[in-house]
Amino acid sequence: MTKGPRIAVVGSANVDLTTFSDHFPKPGETIFGDKFHLGFGGKGANQAVAARLCGADVFMVARVGDDLFGPATIKNFEKLGIDATHVRQVSGVSSGVAPIFVESSGQNRIIVVKGANDALKAADVEAAADMLKSADCIVLQFEIPLETVYHTIQFARKNGIRCILNPAPAQPIDLKAVAELDYFVPNETEAETISGLPARNVDDAKRCAEKLLAAGIRRVLITLGANGALLAGSDGMQHVPAFPMKSVDSTGAGDAFIGSFATFLGEGLPELEAARRANLYAGLSTTGVGTQKSFYERARFEGEWTRLQRT
Ligand code: RIB
C-alpha cells in the first residue's frame, strides 16, 4: 500500500457481537436469532481501519482489556498495518464490547460496554504527543472519556493539526469545548441530541447545522444515512446525496464515512468531493455484514467510484 496522509485516531476499540434477527425478545422471553457475527469494531478502531484501507498511514491511541479480546485487537491493528505502539492493555478491566442487533432492513441497535476504553486519559494522549504531532489529522469519537476528547481537541489546535470529531454515541456536550474543531460529524441521532432539534431529513438537518454553527463550530457534516450528508459552514450549506445501495447491515457506515473522509481530505481533494466519495465508501460498507469486515480496499472502492461517475 502506498503512503497516504498521516491520520491519528484517539479512540475506542471494541469487539462486536452481532446478532441478526427480525424480532426482539420481550422481558423474560428467549427467542432464536437468524445468524451471528463476531468481529473487531469500536468507532475509533473502525475509523482507523477505514482510513487505512483507503490508503492512509494510520496510528491508533487506545486502550484494550486484559481478556482474550485485548491482544487479538492489537494483532488486528498490526495485521492491517496500523501503528499500535500506543494501544495498551489495562489490567483488571474488560475490553470494550458491543452486542449489536441487526434487522432484515439492515438497521441496527447497539449497546456498548466501554470497558478499557474508559481508561484512555489525557496523560495517555500526552504520552503519544510525538507521534500525534506528526499527524495531518486527528480523529476523535465519544467512546472514550469526554475530558480526553476535549484535551485532544486542544492538543490538535495548539499544534495546528486538523481535527475531526464524531460525537458518537450521542450525549449532551459543552459546545464551547468543541468549538475549536475543524469538522464536527454527527449522524441524525447525535445531531438531535446535541442541538436539541430534530434531524430526520435534509431541512431539519439544515436547522441543526445552523444552531451548531451559531455555537461556534466551524464546519458541520451531518450524515443522514440513505439521505446522504449535509455539509455546512459560514460559506453556506450543501446537500450531498447518497448512492442507493442494497443494505444488509448498516453498522459502522458512519465510521466508514469518517475514516474515508479524513483520508480523501488529507490527500488534498476538495471538501465536497471528499464528502461525495465518503458517502459512496459508507454506502458500500452497508452491503456487507459486520463493521471493519465490510469496508472496501481502496482499489475496489475506486472501481465502484469510476463506474458510478460514468452512469
Ligand atoms: O459504529 C459502529 C460501532 O459502534 C461498532 O463497531 C460498535 O463497537 C460500536 O462502537
**Which domains does the chain show, CATH number per domain?**
6-13+43-96+117-310 (3.40.1190.20)
Q: Which atom of ligand 1 is nearest to the CA of 45?
A: 6
> Taking all residues of the chain, what is their mean pLDDT, rounded to a whole number?
95
Residues 6+ apart with CB under 8 A from 81: 1, 52, 58
Distance CA 174, CA 82 (A): 32
The answer, yes or no, to whether any atom of ligand 1 lies below 6 A from the CB of 190, is no
Distance of CA 176 to the CA centre of its chain: 22
At 164-192, the pLDDT tens digits run 999 999 998 988 889 989 999 999 999 99
Distance CA 59, CA 85 (A): 8
Residue 35 has pLDDT above 90, yes or no: yes
Tell me the mean pLDDT in the region 222-226.
Answer: 95
Q: Report the separation in Å between the CA atom of 31 and the middle of ligand 1, taken as the mean of its atom positions.
A: 24
Residue 2 has pLDDT above 50, yes or no: no
- Looking at this protein, which amino acid is placed at residue 273? E
Mutate to test the pocket of ligand 1, among 18, 38, 43 (most ligand atoms within 8 A of CB): 43
Within 10 angstroms of residue 54's Cβ, the number of other Cβ atoms is 30
- For residue 311, the model assigns a pLDDT of 75
At 93-141, the pLDDT tens digits run 999 999 999 998 888 899 999 999 999 999 999 999 999 999 999 999 9
Q: Report the separation in Å between the CA atom of 290 and the middle of ligand 1, taken as the mean of its atom positions.
A: 10
* Residue linked to cell 452491503: 287
What is the 8-class DSSP label of residue 227? Answer: G
Within 10 angstroms of residue 24's Cβ, the number of other Cβ atoms is 12
Q: Using only the alpha carbons of the chain, give its radius of gyration.
A: 18
Q: Report the separation in Å between the CA atom of 311 and the middle of ligand 1, taken as the mean of its atom positions.
A: 33
In the chain, % of residues over pLDDT 70: 99
Selection from 9, 14, 120, 129 nearest residue 58 by Cα: 9
Q: Report the separation in Å between the CA atom of 120 and the middle of ligand 1, taken as the mean of its atom positions.
A: 17
The answer, yes or no, to whether any atom of ligand 1 lies below 6 A from the CB of 250, is no
- For residue 3, the model assigns a pLDDT of 63
* Residue linked to cell 472501481: 303
Show which residues are catalytic.
255
Residue 154 has pLDDT above 80, yes or no: yes
Mutate to test the pocket of ligand 1, among 97, 101, 112 (most ligand atoms within 8 A of CB): 112
Distance CA 126, CA 142 (A): 18
- For residue 75, the model assigns a pLDDT of 98
Q: Report the separation in Å between the CA atom of 165 and the middle of ligand 1, taken as the mean of its atom positions.
A: 15
Distance CA 64, CA 95 (A): 5
The 229-233 sheet, strands edge to edge: 83-90, 57-65, 6-10, 137-141, 162-166, 183-184, 220-223, 229-233, 236-240
The answer, yes or no, to whether any atom of ligand 1 lies below 6 A from the CB of 41, is yes
Residue closest by Cα to atom 2 of ligand 1: 252
Q: Which atom of ligand 1 is nearest to the CA of 253?
A: 1
- pTM of the predicted protein model: 0.96
Residue 1 has pLDDT above 70, yes or no: no
The answer, yes or no, to whether any atom of ligand 1 lies below 6 A from the CB of 108, is no
Q: Which atom of ligand 1 is nearest to the CA of 97?
A: 8
Selection from 12, 50, 15, 45 nearest residue 285 by Cα: 50
Residue 202 has pLDDT above 90, yes or no: yes
Q: Which atom of ligand 1 is nearest to the CA of 12?
A: 10
The 35-41 sheet, strands edge to edge: 35-41, 14-20, 96-102, 108-110
What is the 8-class DSSP label of residue 187? Answer: B
Residues 6+ apart with CB under 8 A from 122: 147, 148, 151, 152
Tell me the mean pLDDT in the region 287-304.
Answer: 96
